[in-house]
Structure 1
Amino acid sequence: MSIVVTGANGHLGRHVVEQLLEKVPADQVTAVVRTPEKGADLAERGVKIAVADYNTPDTFDALFAAGDKVLLISGSEVGNDRVGQHKVVINPAKAAGVALLAYTSAPGSLTAALADDHRGTEKVLLESGLPYVLLRNGWYHENYTENLAPVLQYNAVTHAAGEGRVSSAARADYAAAAVAVLTGEGHENKTYELGGDVAWSFAEYAAELSRQSGKEIANNAVSAEDLVGILTGAGLPEPLPAILAGVDTSIEKGELAIGSGDLSRLTGRPTTPIAESIGAALKG
C-alpha cells in the first residue's frame, strides 16, 4: 500500500509530502512529478518517485495499485480543461481499485468561475464510485502574502471585495488536513469545508500590513470592472484578471468566509493566523 501524491512538487504537494514523512516511512510515499529532476531530493530521502503528467494520460496507466490512497491535487492551469486532466488520474485509480481518492477542491459556497472545474471534477469523482474525500480548500494566506511586492511598492491593498471577509489559512494547514485524511481512518465519502479559524477583511489586512511593515498601507477598494483593468494593465494574461475579479466578487458576497471549523478539527490544532504569514513574508 502506498500513499500517492500527485503534483508533489507544487507548493501544496511539497508541504503534504514533508508532513507525510513525519508520520509514515518514506517507502510508503509515492510522489508524482513531471520530471525525475523535480523529485531527485525526495528520492534521496527514500520516497518513491513516479513521473507522470496530467496532459499525458498514458503516464498514469500503471501508476496505482489496489489499496493505495491517492491525493489528487488539482491542476494549476486555470482556463485549461482541468476536469479532463483530473480524469486522467481518476480513471486509472478506479481501474486499479485504490482504497481512497482525496481531491483538493474549492469551497462549496464558491460560485466564481474558478469553482467550475472543481465542481466538474467532483461530479466525475462521485460518479466513478471510488471511495472519495472532498477537501474543499478555502483561500491560502499565500495567495496574498507571496504577492506583497506591488502592495509595498504602491502602499495599497487593491481589491474588489468590499467589506467581505476571507477565512484563509496557511498552505501548511491545508496540507496537514490532507495528511490527516490520508493517514487516518473513517474519512471515506466525506466532504470537508476547510478554512481558517478567523475571517479577516481587506481593511484589517491592510492595517496588519501597515503595523508589521512600518509603512502606511491603504485599503484601496475598487469595482470588479476597475480591478480587471488594473490587473490587465499590470500585465496579467487573459483570462486571469477576470477570474481574480470574480473571486473578489465572491468574497464580497461572503462565499469565502468558511465557518465549519473542519480544518482545525482535522488537524487537531488552531489554523495559522494571517499575521504570522505576513511576518514570514516580510522577513523574506
Structure 2
Amino acid sequence: MNQPELGKKILELRLAKGLTQTELAEKSKVSLRTIQRIELAEVTPRSYSIKSIFLVLEFDFYNTIVPKESEKTSSLKNWIINLFNLKIHTMKKLSFLTVLFIIAFLLISKNEIHAQSINGWFKTGSKAKSYEIGLNNSESKTGKKCAYIKSVDGNINGFGALMQRCDAKNYLGKRVKMTAYIKAENVKNWSGMWLRVDSKYGGQSLSFDNMKDRPIKGTTDWVKCEITLNVPNESSTLNYGVLLYGEGVVYFDRVSFEVIGDITENVESKKIPEKPANIDFED
C-alpha cells in the first residue's frame, strides 16, 4: 500500500466507524495534525503511528496488505523498513540534511508514480473501481491544474464520483451556493456536480442535488454549474464533488462556496405552499 492509498484507507475506515479526526487522534495517541497530514498524504507516518491508528480502527494492516510481485513500487511496510534501515546504517556517514533530501526524493518519486491521488479529495461511487481520478495540467479552466474522473472499464452500469466533505458549522441556518466548472469528453450517459447536506442525527440527508435534471452529456467545453441548498441548523457535513455515470471523462475546476442568505419561510414556501393558493385563478 503506497502513501496516498494509506491515507485514503485510514479516511475510509475512520468514516466507517463514525470517528472524527480529533476522536481518532485521542484514541490512538497520535497528534491531530499527524492524522490530518496522513489522510492528505503529506507525511510519511512512523510504523508505531500506523500500528496505533489501525488498532483503534480494528484493521489488521500487516496481515491484510500483501504486496504483489507485479507492483511497480514496494509496499508501505517495506518502504518504512528500508527507510529505517537507511537511517541506521548511514547516519554516521551522511549529514542530517542529506537524509532529509533522500526522504524528500522518495516522497516526490512515489507521488509521481501514483498520480491518482488528489490531496483532500477521494474517489467513491457505486462502481468506484471502474474509474480513475487525478490531476491534469493541460485542460484547466484558469489555473495550472484541474481534477478529472475517467472511466477505465467499458459498459459500466453505475457511477464514480470525486468527492470531498467539510464540517457544516460555518453554514448553519444559511442558504449556500456551490459553483464550479465542468468539461466533458465522450460522456455516454450523464455527469454533473453534486452537493449533499447530511444531518448530525443518524446520517440522514437533509438536502441534495446532483444535476440529474440538467445533466452534462457528450463532449462540451467548460460549463459553469451552480447548486443552491439550505443548510439547516441540525446539519453535520457538506458533501460535494463531481460524478460520472457510465463511460467518459469529466474535468472539474474552480470550486467555490458562497453564503447567499439565511433560510427563510418565504424561500421554503416557494417550493411547497403551506395551503392552496389562487384556486379561483383571480390573483
Compute the TM-score of the two structures, normalised by the length of structure 2.
0.28
Which protein has the larger Cα radius of gyration, Structure 1 or Structure 2? 2
TM-score for the superposition, normalised by structure 1: 0.28
Greater percentage in helix: 1
Higher relative contact order (CA 8 A, sep 6+): 1
